[in-house]
Amino acid sequence: MSGDSPPCPYRQADQVCVALLLCLLSIGCNVTRYSETLTEEGVVEQTVFTPSTHGTGTGIDMTGKGGISIVSVSTSPVWATVFRCQHGKFIIYGQGLWERMHGGQTVTISYREVYRCPRKEPDKCALVDYDFLDAVSR
């Protein structure tokens, strides 16, 4: 019998973790950047309110095991405002905005452009989203 002991599995796992971490760090991360605040004209297409719901129901188990099942469902209220602007249509959720808007209303929309930029190449940013800030009646 030799005096060599088998390699410790934990040491191998640690080495794999360190190697994986180094690979991830060498790839780099993206940085999120925002434009200055921009504005554009838009129209409120529609305001939508869906009240909260609460209900229960019963059913028969059709899997062959027999029995009755009872289901309880609850949903929260939803306030949504649908806008149309030069970028298309989009929906913003929230009661405060919904209370200030009505269908057909002309508004000024303020927003920021959202960019993802590679940390190692900050000049190669890509526009990935629009960050809605507010809408005010004109």
Q: What's the pLDDT tens digit per position in 19-78?
A: 666 655 555 578 899 999 999 999 999 999 999 999 988 887 777 676 787 888 899 999
Can you give the residue ranges of every domain in the chain?
29-137
Q: Which residue has the tokens 């009661």?
A: 95
Amino acid at 11: R
The answer to whether the CB of 82 falls within 8 A of the CB of 44 is yes
Q: Which helix (H) or strand (E) element contains residue 19?
A: helix 9-27
pLDDT above 90 coverage of the chain, percent: 57
pLDDT of 1 over the 60 cut: no
